[in-house]
Amino acid sequence: MAESYDDRDGVIWMDGVLTPWRDAKVHILTHAMHYASSVFEGERAYNGKIFKSREHSERLIFSANQLDIPIPFTVDEIEAAKQEALAASGLQDAYVRAVVWRGSGPDMGVSSARNPVHMAIAVWAWGAYYGDAKMKGAKLDISKWKRPSPETIPVHAKAAGLYMICTMSKHAAEAKGCSDSMFMDYRGYVAEATGANVFFVKGDEVHTPKPDCFLNGITRQTVIGMLKERQVPVIERHIEPGEMESFEQCWLTGTAAEVTPVGQIGDYNFEVGKLTRDIAEAYETLVRE
């Protein structure tokens, strides 16, 4: 049986204090548990260094501001806290989770302006997100849910509430023997997977959905930069679902996913081709520089 995340040795950084892992708890009336007033970051450390660390810290504050959650720490303080948590973990290669939430306080309705804002950072060892998919290509279902319109929710924040449909979609996908699920957006265009952005290859071009209603991932931006350095044309645009039939290769990007080849999305099949393998290998090299 897998080790439970609430029953481990080690420490978790909470509001400036390294707290024994099993004691890092919140009250049942924590506002975030009831109203999703929480934002977070997922990061990876390689050889003892957190990749794109400062960009993640800046995005954490951006996400919190989008949800009207005033973080009581600066970017520099968040950076120092992550380094402290990583050092205390004793790990060189690790996953780093920074989370900010509205706690329990005088307010226990929709409004929570008087409740304190908390922050925690946990670090643990985490291998390949999609298991052996890095070799043979992940198999994805197509979700019945859609990424929402920017008029309905702060779509560019990394907010806990935005992941509710991700959990349901991934559960449905796993029940079908798939690794993940692909979302369309509110207009019907191809959007992203439950926790990763998507890229397609057609000839000598790479096509990727325009991130106008979902998170423009830091790994996504990194990979676009890598492709442009190699003078590979990158086209960011709205992609119709039926176009997937004409694409030859596909991969996902994300902090957890890193660069993961995709072999199938619904009824559409892709080869794990040369460009996909080259970018995956180049990314592995980049993060360890």
The pTM score is 0.95
Sheet containing 49-50: order of strands = 17-20, 11-14, 117-124, 94-102, 38-46, 49-50
Query: Of 95, 124, 153, which residue is a domain's last?
Result: 124
How many Å apart are CA 141 and CA 182, to the nearest integer?
Answer: 6
For residue 244, the SS3 value is: helix
Residue 90 is part of a domain; what is its CATH number?
3.30.470.10
Q: Which domain holds residue 107?
A: 11-124
Residue 216 is part of a domain; what is its CATH number?
3.20.10.10
Domain count, the chain: 2
pLDDT in tens, 148-182: 999 999 999 999 999 999 999 999 999 999 999 99
Query: Of 105, 124, 143, which residue is a domain's last?
Result: 124
Give the tokens for residue 26. 């919140």
Query: Of 93, 124, 155, which residue is a domain's last?
Result: 124
Residue 123 pLDDT = 98
Tens digit of each residue's pLDDT, the chain (289 residues): 578 999 999 999 999 999 999 999 999 999 999 999 999 999 999 999 999 999 999 999 999 999 999 999 999 999 999 999 999 999 999 999 999 999 999 999 999 999 999 999 999 999 887 877 777 899 999 999 999 999 999 999 999 999 999 999 999 999 999 999 999 999 999 999 999 999 999 999 999 999 999 999 999 999 999 999 999 999 999 999 999 999 999 999 999 999 999 999 999 999 999 999 999 999 999 999 9
**Mean of per-residue pLDDT scores for the chain:** 96
Q: For the chain, state the CA radius of gyration.
A: 19
